[in-house]
Amino acid sequence: MKKFGWAGAMAAATMTAALVSTNAADAQSKFQCKPGETYVMNVMVSAHPYWVPVYQGFKQAAEAMGCETVFSGTPDYDITKQIASFEQDLVKNPAGVLLHPMQSDPFIEPINQAIANGVSVTTFAADSPKSKRTAYVTSDNLAEAKFAAEEIVKQVGDSAEYAVLENPGQSNHDLRVTALIDYMGKNYPNMKLVGRQATNQDSNAAYKATASILQANPNLKALWIPEAGSAEGAVTAVLEAKADVLIIHADVTPATLEHIKAGNIHMALNPNQGVQGYMGFIATFLGAHPDLFDPFNDYKVSGYNPMQIPFVDNGFAVITKENADSFDLNKYMEGRDPS
């Protein structure tokens, strides 16, 4: 075997390192943004704390790839205003939008128009499945509902009265409620649904609805709520009535977290928000760059974006008194840029 001197070895090593570096740079460049390439995250009720960790995950992925981000949406719970904010975002020609559609059908045409104009659209947490969005990132709402149902039965037995609050029209919230009711009916027929009220993420409406349900059903043992805003009002009504009602809800807010720590709320099932935002950005980026790979399918003749990702499950966490400190939003945001 031919032996190299020190100088020869160093030269060979330098050349190898240069080739590796060049190859790595070439490979990396395919997953990097062009200067000024911008991605938007658009939501409804933009001040809600739920979006904060999602946007942090979105930004972390974007920063790793040299991309710009913008947080957008409407402060109101108003489908017309959210669509208007989405369309205003499009005027700025972003490469893509990670969108939480308040309602599915009204967003079909706006999403399709955006895609027709070359803007990548991924939905997250709630979907518009009849649109041409290229990806959907969420937690498994069926799994959440099943987990909640089993926990309720575990805690109060399989022959008790329960109630649900709901937010009709938002796909993930609808599924969390209907799936739990269906699961109870099929697996625990002696569980009796005695209340079902639409509270639409309004804590005041939830307070009134829960008080009414409690008054009409003094033997109520459990309450399932598909989001945290209504849980804030519901727990207040339960505490005022001094009722022994197990409360489980999806998502979390600083207010409900404090109630979990105090033992007033049994638990929350919270989507892994950071993962949701991180994977949401990656899916949106891929939708904007379908030329990154050549899949083995008919996309060239069919004319559709090959970066189709029907469903990404970001998972969910179970928040209890024991691990509640890990979900303190203020602690999480210490030293982070919220913008």
Q: In percent, how much of the chain has pLDDT > 90?
A: 86
**What is the rounded average pLDDT of the residues 74-86?**
96
Alpha-carbon distance of 101 to 63, in angstroms, equals 25
pLDDT of residue 29: 63
pLDDT of residue 339: 81
Q: Number of C-alpha atoms within 13 angstroms, CB side, residue 148?
A: 37
Which tokens belong to 130?
Answer: 């009849």
pLDDT in tens, 109-143: 999 999 999 999 999 999 999 999 999 999 999 99
Q: Is 45 left (phi over 0), alpha (psi -120 to 50) or beta?
A: left
Alpha-carbon distance of 59 to 246, in angstroms, equals 37
**What is the rounded average pLDDT of the residues 202-212?**
97
Average pLDDT, the chain: 91
DSSP letter for each residue of 42-105? EEESTT-TTHHHHHHHHHHHHHHTT-EEEEEEESSS-HHHHHHHHHHHHHT--SEEEE--SSSG
3-state secondary structure of 16: helix
In the sheet with 309-313, reading across from the earlier edge strand, the strands are 68-74, 38-44, 96-99, 120-124, 135-138, 309-313
